[in-house]
Amino acid sequence: MYETDLYKPIKTYFERLGYGVKSEIKNCDVVAIKDNEPPIIVELKLRFSLSLLMQGIDRQLMTDSVYVAYPIQKGKRSRSLLKDSIKICRRLSLGLITVRLEPTEFVKVHCEPVIIEDRKNTKRSKQLLDDYYQILGDPNLGGQSRKTIMTAYRQDAIYIADAIIRGENGKPYILAKSLGISNSRSILYKNYYGWFYNIERGVYGVTDKGQEELKKYKSGYF
């Protein structure tokens, strides 16, 4: 079992409640948003642990609605752990979700998060929402390796590379205008992924590495 196995049932659970759900937004495993309600964050782990609780506490700086989730097992020991887990989560104002994968998927909320005023970091809350709306679709799986995560920055770089390969002028201001990516100049100049090179002053092309990387993503995003 992997943490990513927990993502689909939790995503389905919140979608049935009317939420839009995406994963790996600002390192949060699951982010659910509906209308003008505060965003919901769910952190996933294969077992209830101090690490899971610390992640949940950190996410409370972004929103009051934070849940921690882990897979439930059969047996007396598991039931005893669940009782203790509920007590701890209530004490920390965290919500608790368990997921059963077999014989059928089943998600249960055992306690709800508690709103505590003046706890959130406004900047981090804004960054979470900005990334949620900037990333198109839901290209990640909650709980996946950080090396493979599609961020808003990476997605913008992919669209810029694709536009240049399709014949778009490689000048940053033209790309910014045609693609609506305001930080096109910064992405090209800093060249964080090594995907771009200077053809001439102020004009960029796509490297062989960039073309190879684009092939990996193109089928899923274009």
Fold of 152-221: Arc Repressor Mutant, subunit A (1.10.10)
Q: What percent of the chain has pLDDT over 70?
A: 92
**Residue 181 Cα distances to 144, 160, 165, 169, 186, angstroms:** 27, 8, 17, 14, 10
How far is the C-alpha of 207 from the C-alpha of 38, rounded, in Å? 41
Q: Give mean pLDDT, residues 110-139.
A: 80
**Residue 71 Cα distances to 45, 136, 199, angstroms:** 8, 29, 52
**Residue 105 Cα distances to 2, 5, 97, 119, angstroms:** 15, 10, 13, 34
pLDDT exceeds cutoff 70 at 42: yes
Q: Mean pLDDT check: name the lowest of 24-38, 112-126, 162-176, 192-206.
A: 112-126
- Give tens-digit pLDDT for 90-117: 999 999 999 998 888 899 999 999 887 6
Of 173, 165, 175, 170, give the one whose Cα is nearest residue 211.
165
Other Cβ atoms within 10 Å of 141 Cβ, number = 20
189: its two tokens: 């100049």
For the entire predicted model, the pTM comes to 0.69
State the pLDDT at residue 73.
Answer: 82
* Cα R_g (the chain), whole angstroms: 20
Spatial strand order of the sheet with 95-100 comes to: 20-25, 28-33, 40-44, 65-71, 95-100, 106-111
State the pLDDT at residue 207.
Answer: 94
Which residue is associated with the tokens 């306690």?
111
SS3 readout for 202-216: CEEEECHHHHHHHHH
In the structure, what pLDDT confidence band is assigned to residue 222 with cuts at 50, 70 and 90?
very low
State the pLDDT at residue 95.
Answer: 97
pLDDT exceeds cutoff 70 at 221: no
How far is the C-alpha of 70 from the C-alpha of 143, rounded, in Å? 11
pLDDT exceeds cutoff 50 at 86: yes
* Greater model confidence, 143 or 105: 105
Domain with CATH 1.10.10.10 in the chain: 152-221
